[in-house]
Structure 1
Amino acid sequence: MHDGHNGQDPALTELRERLKGGMARMRLNQTDLATRAGLGRTTVSEALSPTKPAPSSETVAALARALQLPVEELRELQRSAVEDIGGGVRSGPGRSIGEWDPHDLEVHPAGPGDAGSGPVRPQARTLPGYVRREHDRVLAGVVEDATVGRSGAVVLVGGSSTGKTRACWEAVQPLAAQGWRLWHPFDPTRAQDALEDLPRVAPRTVVWLNEAQHYLGDRVAGERIAAAVHRLLVTVERGPILVLGTLWPEYAARYTALPSPGESDPYSRVRELLAGRVLNVPESFDAPALAAAAALAEGGDRFLDDALSRAGAEGRVTQDLAGAPELINRYRHATPAAAAVLEAAMDARRLGVGLHLPQAFLTDAAADYLTDTDYDQLTDDWAEHAFAELAALVHGKQAPLRRTTPRTRRRPGAPAPSSAAHSAAPSTAGPVFRLADYLEQHGRTSRTHLCPPASFWHAAHTHLTDPGDLGNLTDAAESRHRLQWAHCLRQRAADHGNPDALYRLAVMREESGDREGAEALAQQAAERGHTNAPHFLAGVRERAGDREGAEALAWQAANQGSPDTLYHLAGMRERAGDREGAEALVVQATDHGHTGALLSVALIRQQGGDQEGAEVLAQQAIDRGESSVLLCILAMMREQAGDSDGAEPLYRQAVAHGNTDALYQLAGMREQAGDSDGAEPLYQQAAERGHSSALLRLAVMRERAGDRDGAEALVRQTASRGHSSTLYLLAEMRKEAGDWDGAEALYRQAADHGHTNARSHLAVMRERAGDRDGAEALARQTADRGNFSALLHLAEKRDEAGDRDGAETLARQAADRGDTVALYRLAEKRERAGDRDGAQALARQTADYGSPQAHYGLAENPRIFSRLWPYGLDPDGAPTPPWRASVSIKRSRHVPLGTS
């Protein structure tokens, strides 16, 4: 809920009067001012409203510049107003830490407690004693920094029920004594609340992002939330602020992984935010932690005493406290009907459905999880009994599947517009349930190779309404080659406002020749934040010959802060051979400050072989104040054209502007020309400025010159800075020279420094030496760290040796860990050998895993799925009969019409 403000502060009153005076002088209304300042209409309205909190410093600065008022004077009024509110504490979201119940912040309850004795009073819900571990000491240091005025952020990464949220709760207790606030964004949705209120966060506030995937992983808002958090942390006048979050390892790996060349980068801002701010929480207690827990147990802590009696030497104390073993036992010994409901819930969560699962969905979905015998024995009230069975509590006051009540949206002021209301979390008729965290994670690992049955997809299409849930299930069905269900779910997702679904259907509409329908759908996708929709809309107009309409759309996107559409349109014209049209567009863009358009077209020309034309445009961009990076690009253009003499002065200009990459490139030119003596000091200068690749090149030069000791010394120097790739490269060079022993020693050092490819090569070397068991063990370890090349290599080698069973076992091990390439390649190999049955069996397994790699195939080969099953597969794996895709156009925001 927003905090109120009485609007009577003198500084705030004067600030608003001066802003209104500026508007009157320039004859602007609030809409005009918002456009001129580059702000939202609501932001401007709230900044001027006497009933709203003081606007942020950034908002005041933007308004002052737009109204040609003294920026610093107005900022000083804003600062005075903020300091006067609440005795020096800015009004903002959240409440005092001491007012929070830790369980309301999603700290797991623990122990058998008083299950069945009725509701438990908040003050009666005690927590077990807390055992501090290494991550707690690191976290305490960040909290201590916050107490002395330095903002910070930590995201704890660990498996389910490992104590991440409890660690955050314990860490903020020193701040409670100093009067800090805590804000947990959740209403109406986590992502929406965070995006809306992050600009209002006051100093001395803990921003609580538990299960941060709901914020950072949101398809529409995640990148914007990451950017807003980053701004909050680096804006000095906003601090001190402490941001605490938690993530499961699979989400952390997804968000921090670099995209492959040519792929989109959906988590660039998230990755930037997480860099240096991730703290791992171990799965189990080590010996000192177990000893500390035992001491607390001996002192009378019945929760820890009970947990230690079961956890034993494995040290999984926190999981036991959360009831994990009993949850698994309850699942394994459940009645057939209850087990079917649980498995439907597990599949829903692992395929991307949100936390709150409608009872109607689970009931209908469960049907095909039952055998024919069990289904025939169902009674009329089977669902009531199944849900009651699953609601019974286990240790830790958790239930396998518990009924929950989503929080009601509460917002002051006028109702949101229909588009915003439509994008909020939709209401669901009937009760909703939440699956226990540990069972959710168990389902992700134990059921990863299974495609849900037909009743699951039908129930999802019938009962689910959340656009994000429907979009995730569309992707899940498509990646499993269940094409007919994917199409039906995409239609429903579009009907409920999913931007990805709307965009995909828009593309289909244009391909079918329906330009008007394509534009209608793409416009809706753009309104809901789909980044490619503005490009598509402009492209539709351009391809239809409506150049004026295409330019209008591109300029509209650029004026709203997204000039990419403008660059995209210029590129389309350039590739179509309309150089004059492209240049006219980029000149206009440049005149409006969008110099990136020049560079975009320059690169297209360079790729097309027009070096001179590319340089002309790149030089124009440099002349308009672009950074020294462009000097490097222009120099590389000349170098690629063979003009080394012309490239060198440009590189030196860039060096003079502080560009270290230019030094590295200049050294590379010298080395390529055979001037090792000239290259080495330049590499050395680049290395001294922190360029790790420069040290690597120096090491390579030393190795090739026969100075192995000097090469290794440099390699160890880079490895100590966290760059294990140099050790790996040197190992590769030793291997190529036939020095297998030297290569293996360096591979081991690289692996010890965390280089997964090095461990992969060690596995291959073990296999070559005949140590199959050792090779497999290393390959599995490498795969557990996200690198599947060793398992893939071993699978192929086993298959070549005639060990088909061994090859398929290794391929499935890779698939269980998230990579189906090995299975896919084996399927193609069987097909090429004429073994259609073997190919189909492996391809069907690949599809059931649902890997995007499998769905899209390998770039150099046709899709085996499309060859074997052109119309897709049914949920049970049978080929789908012929069907025709149709696209429903949504002509109303709420009522979908029929197909065309």
Structure 2
Amino acid sequence: MLDEPDHCSPAHAELRRRLDEGRARARLDQTQLARKAGVGRTTVSKALSSRGGLPSVETVTALADVLKLPMGELLELRRTAAEETGAAPADVSGPGRAIGQWEPHELEVHPAGSGETGADGGRALPKYVAREHDAVLADAVAAAAAGHSGIAVLVGTSSTGKTRACWEAVQPLAEKGWRLWHPFDPTRAEAALGDLHRVGPRTVVWLNEAQHYLGDRKFGERIAAAVHQLLIDEQRGPVLVLGTLWPEYAHDYTALPEPGGGDPYSRVRELLAGHTASVPDTFDTKALAEAKAFAERGDALLADALTRSRDGGRITQDLAGAPELLRRYEQPRKPAARALLEAAMDARRLGVGLHLPQAFLAAAACDYLSDDDYDQLSDDWVEQAYAELAERVHGKQAPLRHTTPRPPRCSPTPTTSMLAPKGPVFRLADYLEQHGRTTRRHLCPPASFWNAAHAHLTHPDDLNNLAEAAEDRHRLQWSHHLRQRAADHGNTDALYLLARMREGAGDREGAEALAWQVVDHGSNDVLDLLALMREMAGDREGAEALYRQAADHGSIDALYLLAALRVRAGDREGAEALAWQAADHGNTNALYLLAEMRVEAGDREGAEALYRQAADRGGTNALYRLAEMREGAGDREGAEDLYRQAADHGSIHALNLLIEMRERAGDQEGAETLARQAADHGNTRALYLLALWRERAGNREGAEALARQAADHGSIDALYRLAVFREEAWGWEGAEALYRQAADHGNTDALYRLAVFREEAWGWEGAEALYRQAADHGSIDALYRLIGMRERAGDREGAEVLAWQAADHGDTRALYLLAEMREKAGDREGAEALYRQAADHGETNALYHLAERPIRFHRLWPHGLDPDGTPTSPWQPFVSVERSGHVPPGTS
């Protein structure tokens, strides 16, 4: 090569000489050098040839890096050569910037979730879950890194993860110093057509939403031609073109034209041929498993999305749509839209099914509006609000969308016609449903909600769920009316409960009538219950009659319960006959009853045979009972064998007794071996019990060692329980070290005990930090201490904030406690408000304390509360709404 006539400028010749000498020293031929530098073989050949033209900045940089040559000197030679020959300046390397300088959301990767912040202060992204199409991208990236230009276009519906996949794919190129160019200004098509000719080597051309480029009516075909030219121009390579498309666009661009018709996408079709990959709408089983693994390792965004993955793994759509769904709820164009959403949220969180009738939502929404907003409603407010909520966000999700329930898959029943709601039905977006469960869990729906439910809901399960929700909130009248509606529509749980209430009120005839309705719907359990209630009331004859009726209707449990009734009546012969009938039909409890009868009769052999039958049917307790009998008879070896069998069948108590037998016999090594075996099978309690036995025996060192073993096997309670035992036996001094060990293992109770000791020894200041630490780890008792401290200091606002923290952890007693504090401080109005909030959380005791004494509570609110929290006027229970003509409050 050095013998060729040199037509280069002096600087260019020197640049070429240094590169070629570096190649020779590295003992690389041109093909090997091209592969290592990630450029094409032709590019290397031209860079080392006097007739090849001045190499680009990217080529010089890549070759200098591989050959370990002084990059600055070579780039200076390249700049001088460019000035001598009039070539493009050295600092011009084409459009774009280093990949590492881009932020993924700048490249149109959808924000995920509701606004979490990442470690860099930007919007957080969930861990990336690779799928099959990622292999196609990986191949294209690997080829580009090896010096071969290429194009790959992902095809999939909205928000299926196409853009995120491209972003993850180019990260290996970022490490190699590649650039990325995203043409978008002044328009995408104009930017692409204007600067594609300037794209230099080692550049990713980012054509996200490629329809804006390739589908442009004026420039689309020219852009496709320019991309094609870029890909085949070796001097400008390697480059990688990445794009995304929706399926409908891909179909239009790749479809063959009709004979004799126009062909508007001929160049686009050629460009895409063989270079597209499909992105599925859902995660497959493997991808879901990986997503769950990331969630378990702390990825909050994926964990949150997986809780809503009812739609067959539409994880990316959920993550992409969440921010906009939340914005549409919090910033609606019309207040009526938000009212509909809140009515739907309350319906779902209180137990109404997925399909919400339009008539129900429209009627329920009224009281969610302020008086001013309600007065300004137009005649077509319902249509306007539904139209607003039907507008889709990313992932084809809508806040509240019209849906068509699937046809029933069950066989026809008398109530089948009642299950389908009348008129259009709507479905609330999963994300908003979950948001409502979190943010509205403290609220009781207004009167319009309960009226609408009673008037428009027909599914018996929906009605019964709402009845239970009303009862939980002490809205007793609505609970009764909705339960009656549920019963009238065939809900057996509602009928069952109403039967119990009638029986308890002394209306046996009414209770039996309802019980038979339950039986007609296929459930015999209510007859067993009524029979038991009759028996408890002393009516054995009535109880036996009901048990027999239940047995005649196929209740095997009734046969067993009837046998037990005969035993208590002294009719052993009749009891045995009934028990054998139940046992022959598979009732294991009947075998236990027969065995106990044999024991009482002194027939131990017969009892053992029956217990063995029960054990053969899977009755682990039968093995345990047999072991007890053997141990009582002095057969330790036989008892131990049976305890072991019971333990092998999953009886933790049997295993603990087996360990205790070894311990009592002085076989500490055998007991410890069994305990370790139990721990290896997940029963760490065995090690903990063994530790307690050692502690009681005075072997403190052995006890502590076993407790640590239990902790190492995952039982963080073991060290704490041992510390409690030691504190009770020897005081704080002997227990403190163990409490600290338990706290170090993550036991919150141990942290709390350390805080209590610190408070007793050094006062509040020394304990507050530990109480805060325990509270942050979920200790409600620690929160109570902090609440009390704030209240004593006069910081009511701070105490209330902490009380809400406790309520958010599921413990509504904190609100109740704070209400008591307000009452003691003379703030009766504030106390009553907090008592009502606690009651809305389901804290029934709060209602009692709204009066001075429980008896006054019954006098003041014997009929419950209205939805707004005021006492309900007297009403008549146990009267069917439909039969009596009584209309619940607020209905028309």
Residue 625 of structure 2, aligned match among 621, 630, 634? 634
Give me the whole-angstrom Cα distance separating, in 2, the residues matched to 1:601 and 1:839.
58
Does 2:884 correspond to 1:885?
no
Give me the whole-angstrom Cα distance separating, in 2, the residues matched to 1:580 and 1:863.
50
Equivalences for 1:230-379 in 2 at 5 Å?
282-284=299-301, 321-379=320-378
Does 2:548 correspond to 1:552?
yes
Residue 639 of structure 2, aligned match among 635, 645, 651? 651
Matching residue's letter, 2:486: A
Q: Is the 8 A contact 2:400 2:427 kept in 1?
A: yes
Give me the whole-angstrom Cα distance separating, in 2, the residues matched to 1:280 and 1:502.
46
Does 2:743 correspond to 1:748?
yes
Q: Is the 8 A contact 1:632 1:650 kept in 2?
A: no
1:712 Cα deviation from its structure 2 partner: 3.9
Does 2:450 correspond to 1:457?
yes
Partner of 1:106: none
Partner of 2:399: 400
Does 2:670 correspond to 1:681?
yes
Matching residue's letter, 1:882: P
Helix, strand or coil: the match of 2:393?
Answer: coil
Distance 1:456 1:682, change over 3 A: same
Residue 488 of structure 2, aligned match among 481, 495, 506? 495
Does 2:161 correspond to 1:128?
yes
Give me the whole-angstrom Cα distance separating, in 1, the residues matched to 2:869 and 2:484.
23
1:881 Cα deviation from its structure 2 partner: 1.9
Q: Which runs of 5+ in 1 are unaligned?
A: 1-108, 113-121, 133-209, 212-240, 250-275, 287-315, 890-894
Give me the whole-angstrom Cα distance separating, in 1, the residues matched to 2:828 and 2:608.
58
Helix, strand or coil: the match of 1:450?
Answer: coil
Give me the whole-angstrom Cα distance separating, in 2, the residues matched to 1:829 and 1:616.
64
Distance 1:541 1:398, change over 3 A: same
Q: Is the 8 A contact 1:390 1:400 kept in 2?
A: yes
Helix, strand or coil: the match of 2:402?
Answer: strand
Give me the whole-angstrom Cα distance separating, in 1, the residues matched to 2:299 and 2:835.
37
Give me the whole-angstrom Cα distance separating, in 2, the residues matched to 1:653 and 1:541.
43
Give me the whole-angstrom Cα distance separating, in 2, the residues matched to 1:325 and 1:353.
25
Give me the whole-angstrom Cα distance separating, in 2, the residues matched to 1:677 and 1:801.
57
Distance 1:800 1:564, change over 3 A: farther
1:540 Cα deviation from its structure 2 partner: 6.7
Partner of 1:738: 732
Distance 1:551 1:428, change over 3 A: closer
Partner of 1:172: none
Q: Is the 8 A contact 2:390 2:398 kept in 1?
A: yes
Partner of 2:429: 436
Q: Is the 8 A contact 1:763 1:778 kept in 2?
A: no
1:459 Cα deviation from its structure 2 partner: 0.5
Helix, strand or coil: the match of 1:626?
Answer: helix
Give me the whole-angstrom Cα distance separating, in 1, the residues matched to 2:859 and 2:756.
33
Equivalences for 1:160-239 in 2 at 5 Å?
none
1:377 Cα deviation from its structure 2 partner: 2.1
Give me the whole-angstrom Cα distance separating, in 1, the residues matched to 2:500 and 2:442.
31
Distance 1:341 1:685, change over 3 A: closer
Helix, strand or coil: the match of 1:403?
Answer: strand
Helix, strand or coil: the match of 1:504?
Answer: helix
Q: Is the 8 A contact 1:369 1:453 kept in 2?
A: yes
Give me the whole-angstrom Cα distance separating, in 1, the residues matched to 2:524 and 2:754.
43
Equivalences for 1:58-137 in 2 at 5 Å?
125=158, 127-129=160-162
When Rg is computed on C-alpha atoms for both structures, the one with the higher figure is: 2
Residue 690 of structure 2, aligned match among 685, 692, 698? 698
Matching residue's letter, 2:560: Y
Partner of 1:823: 815
Kindly indicate whether structure 1 or structure 2 has the higher relative contact order, using CA contacts under 8 Å at least 6 residues apart.
1
Q: Is the 8 A contact 1:886 1:899 kept in 2?
A: no
Does 2:611 correspond to 1:594?
no
Distance 1:130 1:793, change over 3 A: farther
1:575 Cα deviation from its structure 2 partner: 6.0
1:896 Cα deviation from its structure 2 partner: 6.3
Partner of 2:199: none
> Deviations for 1:259-301, whole angstroms, at most 9, x for unmatched residues?
xxxxxxxxxxxxxxxxx99967722379xxxxxxxxxxxxxxx
CA RMSD in angstroms comes to: 5.0
Distance 1:386 1:625, change over 3 A: closer
Q: Is the 8 A contact 2:359 2:456 kept in 1?
A: yes
Helix, strand or coil: the match of 1:434?
Answer: strand
Equivalences for 1:149-160 in 2 at 5 Å?
none
Count of residue pairs the alignment pairs up: 590
Equivalences for 1:432-831 in 2 at 5 Å?
432-526=425-519, 528=521, 532-539=525-532, 543=539, 545-546=541-542, 549-556=545-552, 563-572=556-565, 582-583=575-576, 585-590=578-583, 592-599=585-592, 619=608, 621-622=610-611, 624-626=613-615, 629-630=620-621, 633-634=624-625, 648=636, 651-655=639-643, 657=645, 659=647, 661-662=653-654, 664-668=656-660, 675=664, 677-678=666-667, 681-688=670-677, 690=681, 691-704=683-696, 708-736=700-728, 737-739=731-733, 741-751=736-746, 757-758=749-750, 761=753, 770=765, 774-775=769-770, 777-783=772-778, 788-792=780-784, 795=787, 808-824=800-816
Q: Is the 8 A contact 1:541 1:549 kept in 2?
A: no
Distance 1:665 1:612, change over 3 A: farther
Partner of 1:844: 836
Give me the whole-angstrom Cα distance separating, in 1, the residues matched to 2:604 and 2:798.
56
Does 2:871 correspond to 1:872?
no
Q: Is the 8 A contact 2:685 2:715 kept in 1?
A: no
Q: Is the 8 A contact 1:353 1:473 kept in 2?
A: yes
Helix, strand or coil: the match of 2:494?
Answer: helix
Matching residue's letter, 2:450: W
Matching residue's letter, 1:545: E
> Deviations for 1:672-704, whole angstroms, at most 9, x for unmatched residues?
xxx473466335335435453332223234445
Give me the whole-angstrom Cα distance separating, in 2, the residues matched to 1:620 and 1:866.
55
Helix, strand or coil: the match of 2:427?
Answer: strand
Distance 1:840 1:712, change over 3 A: same
Identity %: 47
Distance 1:700 1:864, change over 3 A: farther
Helix, strand or coil: the match of 1:881?
Answer: coil
Distance 1:598 1:707, change over 3 A: same
Q: TM-score, normalised to structure 2's length?
A: 0.56
1:494 Cα deviation from its structure 2 partner: 1.0
Give me the whole-angstrom Cα distance separating, in 1, the residues matched to 2:288 and 2:794.
50
Q: Is the 8 A contact 1:351 1:472 kept in 2?
A: yes
Give me the whole-angstrom Cα distance separating, in 2, the residues matched to 1:493 and 1:337.
29
Helix, strand or coil: the match of 2:765?
Answer: coil
1:828 Cα deviation from its structure 2 partner: 7.1
Helix, strand or coil: the match of 2:745?
Answer: helix
Helix, strand or coil: the match of 2:401?
Answer: strand
> Deviations for 1:339-380, whole angstroms, at most 9, x for unmatched residues?
222211111111111122111111111111122222222222
Distance 1:520 1:796, change over 3 A: farther
Give me the whole-angstrom Cα distance separating, in 2, the residues matched to 1:612 and 1:750.
53
Q: Is the 8 A contact 2:342 2:368 kept in 1?
A: yes
